[in-house]
Structure 1
Amino acid sequence: MLRALLLENPHNDADEILSRAGFEVVRHPGALEEEELVAELDGVDVLGVRSGTQVTERVLEARPDLLAVGVFGIGTNQVDLRAAARHGIAVFNAPFSNTRSVVELAVGEIIALTRRLTVRDKALHGGTWDKTATGSREVRGKTLGIIGYGNIGTQLSVVAEALGMRVVFYDTAEKLALGNARRMGSLAELLAVADVVTLHVDGRAGNAGMFGRRQFEQMKHGAAFLNLSRGFVVDYGVLREKILDGSISGAAVDVFPDEPRRNGEPFESELRNLPNVILTPHVGGSTQEAQENIGHFVAGKLASYARAGSSDLSVNLPRLTLPPSDAARYRIAFVHRNTPGVLALVNQTFAEHGANIEGQILGTLGEIGYVITDIGSELPAEAVAAVEEMEDTIRLRVLRPPAAQSTSTKR
């Protein structure tokens, strides 16, 4: 039986999906530090994490037999993807499953900031009746500037237009504008016209510190600011200054450079106790619907990779799916270094040992290659051993349909 370790409480449906695939599922409620994670990975075949656990190269080296890591969320910057690929460890995430939840949070916060609902709420909780229209505005007719026009940014664009907002966006990649949204030629152009600026960029290292003093000073006076993407992309010290001097009218922040690993731990931020500032504990995708979708999606990908070798939508290995064949008696899942002639050598080895290939698919991604091969005859142990000993072999697994029980691995 394979063993799965799930951290940080992904949806319980993940347990059922993995159990049906033959996994023993073990849970830990919070994130783990590096040393703790290394100790807990003993005997684990599949690891599931959310945003609080860092899966470093040292962690991956400590458990070389790990098959895959599932990130129960969108971002994968908490996993060393290149190190995982070098060890033949597939990484999966849920790039679409919580998009709507993040969009709805952004829309709610845009309205709350524009109407200054946080200020009105705090006054009443403090026992003061302060009925006034001062500083309270409609979002209709305002310009929303979206930085990062991916899955979340595009859907937010459509919903914002339905509210009557004008939408401009900026992305470093070429993106098709939806509806009446208008692409801006530079970030500075967007900041000059947007009444609300919202960040939806990914966690790549190049985005660190992308929004600092210069960008805040290019924003319209009195504009609002949202960051529901990554904590390390914004200089929150500067944001604090701009809130206090009134040049930024309000802010909503869901992500922070340093976040507590477990519920109940203390939280510190320079943004606490500021007027018209909404702080949420990284809950953009934390709705029941999103977590259920994510649990199903990621657990399904982990099970499919472990049992059938399918790497569809992996973020660090070539994305391959080989349809099942009734004639196949074995399936070979082979991760290797992407060097010329590897596939020819593998097939020659199979042929020399009398193994008949029923189906095969190859893909490459950077320095990594991946081959799925169905064998319709007996598979001599000598053929497997010969491929395992090849210089460019990273990991080889032999799966026997229909039970798909792994009989050999190497890294």
Structure 2
Amino acid sequence: MNGSTANGSAAAHQQAFHRAVAPSSPPVVVAGAGSFAGMMAASQGAAPAVPFSGSAGSPTASYAGAGSQRARSISIPGKPSSMPRLLTPFDQGDIRILLLENVSQGAVDMLRQQGYQVDFHAKAWSEDELCDKIGQYHAIGIRSKTKLTAKVFRRAEKLLLVGCFCIGTNQVDLTAAAKAGVAVFNSPFANSRSVAELVIGEMICLSRQLADRTNEMRAGEWNKVSKGCYEVRGKVLGIVGYGHIGSQLSVLAESMGMSVLYYDVVPLMPLGTARQVEKLEDLLAASDFVSLHVPELPETKNLIAAPQLAAMRKGAYLLNNARGTVVDLPALTDALDAGHLGGAAIDVFPREPAANGKDTFVDALNGFESRLRACKNVILTPHIGGSTEEAQTMIGIEVANAIIRYINFGGSTGAVNFPEVDLRVITQADSDDVVRFCHVHHNVPGSLKAVNEILGNHNVVKQNSDSRGDVAYLLVDVAGVDEEAKREIYERIGQTKANVLTRMLS
């Protein structure tokens, strides 16, 4: 299958690719790859994103202009011969990208500057809308409300990748995406500071009962009290999940005079004077505030339920800015009504409204909303932990960067469901007849042998391959091939038995 037909002018990023019609061996995601332990360990060494950074040895580049006639501008010093060469496809077809849920305008601008056709929509789309229109697009960018199901991926004939402009990817069927040869990227750490600062604000508001006093004042009631109101200085904060957010929160809390305990499923080096505890129950019993920062996994569902709430100090506060399934909210409501807890701050819920508006956060959603709203000293926010201008800008840059890198150069570093493979970019110094093949295939015996037999009589200058579960990905640069040879290699690789999707960039 080829990309969409050219519309008269040769657009520089139109991609040729072969996709298998019906993959016979469904890929699976490696067990443990998305585990709480794996995420927490990996998060400690993650580097911040920079706009459009290439693979090792590749300079940062950006492109300006529209359509097929675009001028390249390089954003760091370097010899012209070392700069990335703007790759063009074997067959022509405009790259079309669908962006939903009002993603960062900076990301929209970055993608349009690449010459892509970008369709931008402020709201999420339903499964039916996606199935009706997804076949037109090579990439889709979403946030948390758009659900990409196996049914959607079956209709996504041209789709190369998904960009999740958020932390989580549980709104995407990752196995179905991998089966279709679709890489999924996200931004797991870009909003860490925003969430950490929100938690600090929530702790102060809870300890001073600010939400209740504000509501009373809005109702015309003056209620100047000090009973039950405290400073956070000298109090103990217990952090569950000591990743990027948890560790940043730890530093901020200590700067305000708090003592910090943390619980994590793997041993992690503390920042400052924070101390790790071996058991969750030990943290709950010793903390004045408990803040949750764990991913949504089967082992974290109802991590804080009735027994854990009972183990907390009387008068303590619970804060959940992680995932809605981590806390048993009816049990939390019982603990608040009974006076065992002094208050709570909840930003995430098991089921959340699909759109903003009045009368959306009601009992028809989860069944506990009216009881929770009636509790004293409770802060309820509509999943805004990462909703700051700074966080959304950084997320936009990071995910747009991943989209550009994968479409333009084939690099899959940072993919959450896909082998992470990269090659040094083809530069101006390389010969003009170098071509790159991006081959997604089933991880079965003989798959690479079949490709290497096709390439055996050609000059392979760079090659990298990796697998993840049942899906594998190969990047290979071949030099010294004329147009006829390019076509032959491209067609033959796309016809191999293990092929899922093959693209060619030259």
* TM-score under structure 1 length normalisation: 0.93
The Cα of 1:48 is off from its aligned counterpart by: 0.7
- Matching residue of 2:498: 392
How far is 1:33 from its partner?
2.0
Letter in 2 for 1:346: V
Specify the alignment match of 1:153 in structure 2.
Answer: 246
Report the alpha carbon displacement of residue 274 of structure 1 after superposing the two structures with TM.
2.0
CA distance in structure 2 between the partners assigned to 1:143 and 1:263 by the alignment: 36
Matches for 1:310-325 after TM superposition, within 5 Å: 310-325=411-426
Deviation string 1:283-318 (CA, Å, 9 cap, x unpaired) is: 111101111111111111111111110111111112
Task: State the match for 2:352 in structure 1.
Answer: 259
Equivalent position SS for 2:372: coil
User: What RMSD, in angstroms, separates the aligned Cα atoms of the two structures?
Assistant: 1.5
Q: How far apart in 2 are the matches of 1:296 and 1:361?
A: 26
Match of 1:304?
Answer: 405
Shift of residue 369 of structure 1?
1.4
Distance 2:98 2:300 in 1: 31
Q: Which moved more, 1:141-150 or 1:385-394?
A: 385-394
Give the alignment of 1:65-144 within 5 angstroms.
65-144=158-237
Pair 1:218-2:281 in alignment = no
Q: 1:344 to 1:174 in 2, by over 3 A?
A: farther
What's the counterpart of residue 144 of structure 2? 51
Aligned residues of 1:143 and 1:195 also touching (Cα < 8 A): yes
Q: Is the 8 A contact 1:253 1:280 kept in 2?
A: yes
Which of 334, 341, 344 is residue 439 of structure 2 equivalent to? 334
- Aligned partner of 1:188 in structure 2 is 281
Q: CA deviation at 1:118?
A: 1.2
Determine if the alignment matches structure 1 residue 355 to structure 2 residue 458.
yes
What CA distance in whole angstroms lies between the structure 1 residues aligned with 2:437 and 2:209? Answer: 60
Q: Is the CA contact 2:260–2:274 (under 8 Å) kept in the aligned structure 1?
A: yes
**TM-score under structure 2 length normalisation:** 0.76
In structure 2, the residue matched to 1:173 is 266
* 2:450/2:496 contact within 8 Å kept: no
Amino acid paired to 1:382 = E
**What's the CA shift for 1:341?**
4.1
Structure 2 equivalent of residue 295 of structure 1: 396
Identity over the aligned pairs, expressed in percent?
42
Q: How many residues align?
A: 398
In 1, the alpha carbon distance for the partners of 2:298 and 2:98 equals 27
The equivalent of 1:277 in structure 2 is 378
What amino acid does structure 1 have at the position aligned with 2:464? I
Q: Distance in 1 between matches of 2:286 and 2:157?
A: 51
User: Alpha-carbon deviation of 1:119?
Assistant: 1.8
Q: Which amino acid aligns with 2:407?
A: A
Paired position in structure 1 for 2:333: 240
Say if 2:103 and 2:396, in contact at 8 Å, map to a contact too: yes
Task: Give yes or no for contact 1:146–1:198 (8 Å, CA) kept in 2.
Answer: yes
1:229 partnered with 2:322: yes
Tell whether the 8 Å contact from 2:135 to 2:157 is kept in structure 1 after alignment: no
CA drift at 1:359: 0.8
* Distance change >3 Å, CA 392–CA 206, structure 1 → 2: farther
Report the equivalent of 1:403.
Answer: none
Q: Please list every run of 5 or more consecutive structure 2 residues that lacks an aligned counterpart in the other structure.
A: 1-93, 363-368
How far the C-alpha of 1:107 sits from its partner, in A, is 0.8
Q: Are 1:9 and 2:110 an aligned pair?
A: no
Aligned residue identity for 2:450: L
The higher-RCO structure (CA 8 Å, 6+ apart) is 2
